[in-house]
Structures are given as C-alpha cells and as structure tokens.
A = this chain, B = another copy of it.
Amino acid sequence: MNEFDLIRRYFERQPPLLRPGEQGSLLPVTQTSHLEGQSLLQLGIGDDCALLRGPLEGAHLAVSSDMLVAGRHFFHDTDAAAIGHKALAVNLSDLAAMGAWPVGFTLALALPETDPHWLEGFSQGLLTLASRAACPLIGGDTTRGPLTLSITVLGQVPHSRALRRDGAQAGDDIWVSGELGAAALAVQLRRTQPAQTVPIEALQRLNWPLPRFDVGLALRGVASAAMDISDGLAGDLAHLLAASGRRQGHALGAVLDSRSLPLAACLRELPPDEALVLALHGGDDYELLFTASPELAATVAQRCPTAHRIGQVTSVSGMLLSDAKRRTRPLEPRGYDHFST
C-alpha cells in the first residue's frame, strides 16, 4: 500500500455530514445554524490545497498541511534554522502552486527536549521566512515527543483563478519553473558523506528551498493546471495527468523531451543518465510543474523568465521520454513514496 492508496482507501470516502439536531449530531439547532451549516468547501482532498469560501468577496481560502519528521524529511544534523525555514517553505510552496496569496500559518511542534540554542535557530529560520512571505504565525501547539513538525498554511486566491492540478488538456505544453535535481543530489551524497563535501548549490536547494510565489501568482489565468514538485517530476506529473484525466473522463499522457529538462548546474559533471534520474525522480525541488495552451507560450515565457517548456500533454495514457536521438522510452511514474519498502 503506498501513500496515495492509503489516503484514497481510508480517508477519501467520508460518511455524510449530519445536520444540526439530527440523531447523533453534536451541533444544536440555533437561530444561526441554517446559515452556519452551509458548506464552505469548494475543493477537498487531492490538490496542493483545499479550497473554502474565502474571506474576500470572490476569493477562495486555500488550506494545506504538511508534516516533517526528523531523519526522514531532514537529516538529524541539519541546522535548526534550515529546519524552521524548510518546514514553512514546503507549505508555502503548496500555496504558490495554487496561485494563492499567503494569509497565515499554524505550527504544531513535538520536541524531544527544550534546547534554547536549537529553538533560537529554528524560530529564527521559521519566522524570517514568514516575514518574507508576509505570512504570520497565528497559533499552534508544542509538546514533547520525537522531533516532528506540522504546519498548516492558509492563503487566498480569486475563485476563478486558482491553479488546480486537474485542468490539463491534451495538446497543452508542459513547463517547469526552474532547475531540477540539485536537492536530490544533496540527499544522495549526504547519505554517505558529510555536508562539507556536498556542492553548496545542492545543499542550498535541499535545505533552503524558496516558494515560487513569483511564478504561481504570474500564472493565474494562464496555466491550465499546476502543482509543486515535491516528490519528483515524473511522479508528480503522473498525479497531475491522473487528476486532469479523471476530471475529463478519459486518460491523459505526456511526452517529455529529455534535452529540454533544466538540469541544475551541479548535475552537469555527472554521467548524463545519472543526472537525468535525479532530475526526473528525485524530490525536494519545490519548483512548479504546470501546463498551458501552446498559444500562451510567449505569455508564459514573458511572465516566468525562469520557466522551461519540457513536453506536451497527450490523449494517450502513459508517459514517454524522448532522448537526444529522438528515440522514446516509457517514463516510469516513480517518485518519492513515504510508505514504499
């Protein structure tokens, strides 16, 4: 059972919501319960964020939660400031991928001990990024336990302009917002060697990712679908195609051109095949993956100067990768899976 099966199987089918006063309901019938009982939910489980009716007229509230566990999402010896930064950055990246503007966040934090030095660094990394994204810490919880962080971010987005992952059409161009594979290289090297011997660019991308609000906000009304790349391009693209295909009622696929994949500079000294694997299947890039109609290619290029067009959505199920000699081979949707064995 992988992470996505688990969510589908145990958490997607929910029992019906009881009405106030109905047998078993915990909610009383009050003067206002008719109004307050209205569902605010516009989009539930499965995208970068859930969307609720938002505080501004015509806007949706975007909500997303991520959890980071020591030893899994970051190495135990990672700088506390980088942990604080990254925990918020990966959540803000979900807002950016939705085209949403940050509103605020909550932090739930389990700590094995209260080490003032660690907390000083952690809160400084966390709150500096919060300041840069104009996204205040609005609440949370602290407890003792194995080092685990869970952040929930709130944002807002005009309702017709949210960048959902299920809007890709056959014929759309596929784009990524910037270079891939550097963080994956850092993860690979750090498994066997100390941080000092890892290229600084790679470590920087792994530990200090920046949410691409510049791209997400510029793509409102332009991209047909978007999501952030957290588990690796191939796996995340498969999710985007599956969601879009489900919505349209027929399968979608993709052809990617390996020559147009923007490899991070630190990958260029590796054997080409190895670099390609890191860029396609490595995780932690936090660039945006998006699709747009080919007529909008010039608009995309103008609004997102760092974006690269890497392929096309097809109406045939499955993903293909073409190489320098224009031979194609199947591209496995293999990405990072937290429950793979």
Residues on A lying within 8 angstroms of B by beta carbon are: 1, 3, 6-7, 9-11, 14-20, 24-28, 30, 32-33, 35-37, 39-41, 44-45, 49-50, 52-56, 61, 63-69, 71-73, 92, 101-104, 106-111, 114, 116, 119-120, 122-123, 127-146, 148, 150, 152, 154, 156, 158, 210-211, 213-214, 217-218, 338-339
Contact = CB atoms under 8 A, between A and B. Distances in A.
Contact of A131 (B16, B41, B71, B135): B16
A193 B39 CA distance: 45
A57 to B, nearest CB: 9
A6 B73 CA distance: 24
Contacts of A135: 17
By DSSP majority rule, is chain A's interface helix, strand, loop, or mixed? mixed
A225 to B, nearest CB: 18
A103 B50 contact: no
Nearest to A212: B26
Given A14-B130, A18-B132, A131-B16, A69 B36 contact: no
Contacts of A30: 217-218
Contact of A14 (B127, B139, B217): B127
A7 B106 CA distance: 12
A144 B25 CA distance: 33
Given A65-B140, A65-B150, 13 more contacts: A11-B107, A11-B140, A24-B132, A25-B132, A27-B217, A28-B217, A32-B158, A37-B134, A40-B156, A50-B106, A67-B141, A68-B143, A110-B148
